[in-house]
A and B are shown apart, each in its own frame.
Chain A
Amino acid sequence: MKEVLAFYPILIDGTITTIILTVLSAILALVISFVVGLSRISKFKIVRIIAIIYLEFFRGSSALVQMFFIYFVLPMWGIYFDALTAGVVAIGCNLGAYGSEVVRGGVLAVGKEQHEASLALNYSPYKRYRYVIIPQAIPVMIPTFGNLLIELLKLTSVASLITISDLTFMAHIIRVQTALTLEPFLVILVIYFIIASILVKIVDIIANKFSKGRNIMIAGEN
């Protein structure tokens, strides 16, 4: 164990890289979730079709392959992302596809009468979604988003394939340098668990904030 802990400088580097990768891809994934999710219920057919193509492509192919493609294949066509950006784009686009279904589900879960009421008040589509539908949909989305966030954290562990030195990659380095297997993986297991626990806590806080003063079950049932 001592041998493994001697590698603490690279373990700390790896942890920071994993956290940065998680946070940046989570932000991208969230934006994509809303854009694609809302496009799915657009009244324009072409927008809906593009959203479906996006969803099926990114959900239906492996994140690892997408990452490899963005990092190693696109440069041959002159599109050049550095490693971290490539990782963020691949993970963000992939999880964004899953997230879009959460957004769509959340919006559709808001009662029909809410849509009708806001229409009756002559709200524009923007106002309708901004002030009536989405505020009620968000509390429904949060638990699933929390799940996806943990999923995203774990997905970052494949980023080492595109030369991002994340936590898992550091464990591999330590493993090869010391020929120990249990210890380096035990260490990163604990680190991943701590990061995941912190993420769960943050999601809880956000969930409380959004559901404060709102009884969404009643709104949904009426």
Chain B
Amino acid sequence: MKKIILFFASFLILLGSANVSFAESDTLKRLKKQGYATVAVANEPPYSDIKTDGYVTGAAPDVARAVLNILGVPDLKAEVIMYGAMIPALQARRVDMATSGLYIKPDRCESIIYSEPDLCGAEAFAVPAGNPNNLLTYEDIAAQPALKMTTCAGCAEEKYALERGVKADQIVYFDTPPSGIKMLQQGRVDVFALSGLGTQDLLNKTNDSNLELVMPISGVPIGCAGAAFNMDDIEFRAEYNMALAKLKATGEFAAIIEPYGFSAEATAGESYLTRCPDGK
């Protein structure tokens, strides 16, 4: 008798969960109805790229555009905001989602939820040409306490540095990445740390022969970014993930991100389930 009840119960649960996953979430219904999704985008080339007329493109918004198209939301209204304002904007429901190099990190998973990773890449340093202090890893910076490094406040790189023994007073924070490069050029800091492709893009644009790229940095995991949502949008996140998986399967995904220098293979085998504690 118990077994039969158990069987029916599990059958009912299955039926229930199937219903949930097939019905459209309220968020998706609303986005479809209004015909666009408002997406927070930070100013972080090559994750995002802003054209001279203000049009927003770049790897992350382009992926989001394609995924939303699959979901039946024809348009993406990009709102370019400060990097640090992205999570508050999601929490206050100022935007429907956020995308552009927001790495999936355990402490961020407490405030927002992520899609499956779409852009993964190695870390990098920018140093004076010839790398006079021979900096190849964060441990090298920690071993030379007189050196100063620069990165952004709250970035993954800050955490990597602190975890590997770099003292808090060795870190100088920049407001935008070009400020960090300026500090490096002016000799205020000895090393600049950021995502690999971000650093590379910036060095290409700066075009200064006195600077050099160190990539990849060994000893730190590759960083993976995904689209981010409000905590309550778990169903919408599931729909987004399904569409993203479809996009990855067709090869269209690689066609979107590879021109920006990202690798589609790097995302294979990566999941927010392993990157967020409790697989949130």
Which residues of chain A have a CB within 8 Å of any CB of chain B?
Answer: 6-10, 13, 68, 71-73, 75-76, 83, 160-163, 165, 169, 172-173, 175-181
Q: List 8 A–B pairs whose Cβ atoms lie within 8 Å, in order of A's numbering.
A: A6-B52, A10-B50, A10-B53, A68-B88, A172-B176, A173-B80, A176-B45, A176-B177
B138-182 CB contact bits vs A (8 Å, 1 = yes)? Answer: 000000000000000000000000000000000000001111011
Complex: how many Å from CA A181 to CA B88?
28
Complex: how many Å from CA A83 to CA B81?
11
Complex: how many Å from CA A6 to CA B94?
30
Tell yes or no: B85 within 8 A of A by CB. yes
The answer on a CB contact under 8 Å between A175 and B92 is no
Q: Which residues of A contact B133 (CB under 8 A)?
A: none
Q: Which residues of B contact A177 (CB under 8 A)?
A: 43, 45, 49-50
The answer on a CB contact under 8 Å between A9 and B206 is no
Instruction: Indicate the member of A8, A83, A163 with the most B CB atoms within 10 Å.
Output: A163
* Cβ-neighbour of A163 out of B52, B53, B89 (below 8 A): B89
Q: Which residues of B contact A175 (CB under 8 A)?
A: 176, 178
Task: Classify chain B's interface size.
Answer: 20 to 34
CB distance from B25 to the nearest CB of A (A): 21
Given contacts A6-B52, A176-B44, A176-B178, contact A72 B202 (CB under 8 A): no
The answer on a CB contact under 8 Å between B54 and A9 is yes
Given contacts A7-B52, A10-B52, contact A179 B205 (CB under 8 A): yes
> Which parts of B76-118 form the interface with A (CB within 8 Å)?
79-82, 85, 88-89, 91-94
CB distance from B209 to the nearest CB of A (A): 14
CB distance from B196 to the nearest CB of A (A): 17
Q: Which residues of A contact B93 (CB under 8 A)?
A: 75
Q: Which residues of B contact A180 (CB under 8 A)?
A: 178
Complex: how many Å from CA A178 to CA B86?
22
The answer on a CB contact under 8 Å between A160 and B82 is yes
The answer on a CB contact under 8 Å between B92 and A165 is no
Q: Which residues of A contact B205 (CB under 8 A)?
A: 178-179
Complex: how many Å from CA A72 to CA B279?
27
Given contacts A10-B53, A68-B88, 9 further A-B contacts (CB under 8 A): A7-B52, A8-B52, A163-B40, A163-B81, A163-B85, A163-B89, A163-B94, A169-B82, A181-B178
Given contacts A173-B43, A173-B80, contact A76 B54 (CB under 8 A): no
The answer on a CB contact under 8 Å between A72 and B89 is yes
Q: Which residues of A contact B49 (CB under 8 A)?
A: 177
CB distance from B151 to the nearest CB of A (A): 15
* Cβ-neighbour of B53 out of A9, A165, A172 (below 8 A): A9
Question: What does DSSP make chain A's interface, helix, strand, loop or mixed?
Answer: helix
The answer on a CB contact under 8 Å between B178 and A173 is no
CB distance from A131 to the nearest CB of B (A): 48
Complex: how many Å from CA A160 to CA B206?
25
The answer on a CB contact under 8 Å between A75 and B54 is no
The answer on a CB contact under 8 Å between A9 and B52 is yes
CB distance from B56 to the nearest CB of A (A): 10
Given contacts A75-B92, A161-B82, A163-B89, contact A176 B176 (CB under 8 A): yes
CB distance from B55 to the nearest CB of A (A): 10
The answer on a CB contact under 8 Å between A71 and B176 is no
The answer on a CB contact under 8 Å between A176 and B43 is yes
Given contacts A161-B85, A162-B85, A179-B181, contact A72 B92 (CB under 8 A): yes
CB distance from A128 to the nearest CB of B (A): 47
Q: Which residues of A contact B79 (CB under 8 A)?
A: 163
Complex: how many Å from CA A62 to CA B107?
28
Complex: how many Å from CA A163 to CA B79?
8
Q: Which residues of B contact A176 (CB under 8 A)?
A: 43-45, 176-178
Q: Which residues of A contact B82 (CB under 8 A)?
A: 160-161, 163, 169
B187-217 CB contact bits vs A (8 Å, 1 = yes)? Answer: 0000000000000001001100000000000
Complex: how many Å from CA A161 to CA B84?
8
Complex: how many Å from CA A68 to CA B43?
19
Complex: how many Å from CA A162 to CA B178?
21
Nearest-CB residue, chain A, relative to B53: A9
Complex: how many Å from CA A10 to CA B43?
14
Q: Which residues of A contact B43 (CB under 8 A)?
A: 172-173, 176-177
Complex: how many Å from CA A161 to CA B206?
26
Complex: how many Å from CA A172 to CA B94?
21
CB distance from A3 to the nearest CB of B (A): 9
The answer on a CB contact under 8 Å between B53 and A179 is no
> Nearest 6 CB-CB pairs, A to B?
A179-B205, A75-B92, A72-B88, A163-B81, A10-B54, A6-B52
